[in-house]
Amino acid sequence: MKTVVFDLDGTLADTSGDLIAAANACFRDMGAGDLLDPAKDAGTALRGGRAMLRLGMSRMERTADDPLIDQYYQALLDHYARDIDTHTWLYDGAMDAVEVLKTRGYRVAICTNKPEGLARELLTRLGILDQFAAMLGADSLDVRKPDPEHLFETVRRAGGDPAQSLLVGDSDTDRNTSRNAGVPSILVTFGPAGGDMAALAPEALLERYSDLPDMVERLLGRV
């Protein structure tokens, strides 16, 4: 079965606002105030909690390996879990495209480097968890993207064939995952890191979700 696998943060949904709010809550706990800007630092937010903490540490003139990063990482996750969907929104047309893909016979799944529990909670609150045949997070396996086994196992759990899959994402991690797996990648241009996607030379660039089903058909063929 041919399978389309989606990244979550920055691909299906813009989660950067809630991630930055969680990081700023940590910086306030440190007595430093809000160090990250929701607009300017959105790209860093989608690279994960430690990336945000490292950026904040640099603005406090502390080193990138400061022990406060590990100390506050769980606190950041806790802040995020309590307020996970206040500023998060699905990209226009994302779920319409998912539905069209399913109607055409493709399996759809999610492979994210967000911890699985948080990803499930967010997808549940957004009301879309049951729209996907499988969802694996950063801690679902012993490996994570860009290791290709993270993608392969996601496809297998969705009932698909890893050799007949592709990955829709928004980052160099997603591009490297698809390259390591030997499958095509489609990178979105409308996320916080969209301007950098062409340089990664994916098989396709996605400017709007309404184009995705036909793009998938060109890359994977009809079901």
Which residues are marked as active site?
A: 7
Please state the length of the chain: 223
Contacts 24+ apart (CB under 8 A), 200-205: 200/172, 200/175, 201/175, 202/175, 202/178, 203/166
- Structure-block tokens of residue 15: 């989660």
Beta strands in 79-152 (DSSP E): 89-90, 107-111, 134-136
> Is residue 179 a contact partner of residue 171, using CB atoms and an 8 Å limit?
no
The answer for residues whose C-beta is within 8 angstroms of residue 11's C-beta and 6 or more apart is: 91, 168, 169, 170, 174, 188, 191
Three-class DSSP category at 188: strand
Query: Nearest Cα to 76, choosing from 91, 95, 57, 60?
Result: 57
